[in-house]
Structure 1
Amino acid sequence: MPGALLPILHGVQDALGYVPPDAVHLIAVALNISRAEVHGVISFYHHFRSKPVARHVLYVCRAEACQSMGAVALEAHAKKTLGIEFHESTADGVFTLEPVYCLGNCACSPAVMLDQELHGRMTVEKFDSLIQATRRSV
Structure 2
Amino acid sequence: MQSALAPIIDQYRDCEGALLPLLHAVQAQWGHIPDAAIDPIARELNLSAAEVHGVISFYHDFKTSPQGEHLVQVCCAEACQARGSRSLESYATQRLGIDYGETTVSGRVTLERVYCLGNCACGPSLRIDDDVYARVDNPTFDALLAEKAEEPGL
TM-score in same-fold range (> 0.5): yes
Quick check: 1:106 aligned with 2:115?
A: no
Structure 2, unpaired ranges of 5+: 1-14
Q: TM-score, normalised to structure 1's length?
A: 0.88
* 1:102 Cα offset (Å): 1.8
| Residue in structure 2 matched with residue 22 of structure 1 by the alignment | 36
Aligned length: 136
Which shows bigger deviation, 124-133 or 34-43? 124-133
Higher relative contact order, chain-length normalized (CA < 8 Å, sep 6+): 1
2:151 aligned partner, one-letter code:
R
| Residue in structure 2 matched with residue 5 of structure 1 by the alignment | 19
* 1:2 Cα offset (Å): 5.9
| Residue in structure 1 matched with residue 8 of structure 2 by the alignment | none
Structure 1, unpaired ranges of 5+: none
Quick check: 1:125 aligned with 2:139?
A: yes
Q: Could you tell me which of 46, 52, 73 is aligned with 2:66?
A: 52
| Residue in structure 1 matched with residue 151 of structure 2 by the alignment | 135
* 1:26 Cα offset (Å): 1.4
Q: TM-score, normalised to structure 2's length?
A: 0.79
Question: What is the distance in 2 between the residues matched to 1:21 and 1:5?
Answer: 15
1:9 aligned partner, one-letter code:
L
RMSD of the alignment, in Å?
1.7
Quick check: 1:82 aligned with 2:84?
A: no
- Give the greater-gyration-radius structure (CA): 2
SS of equivalent to 1:88 = coil
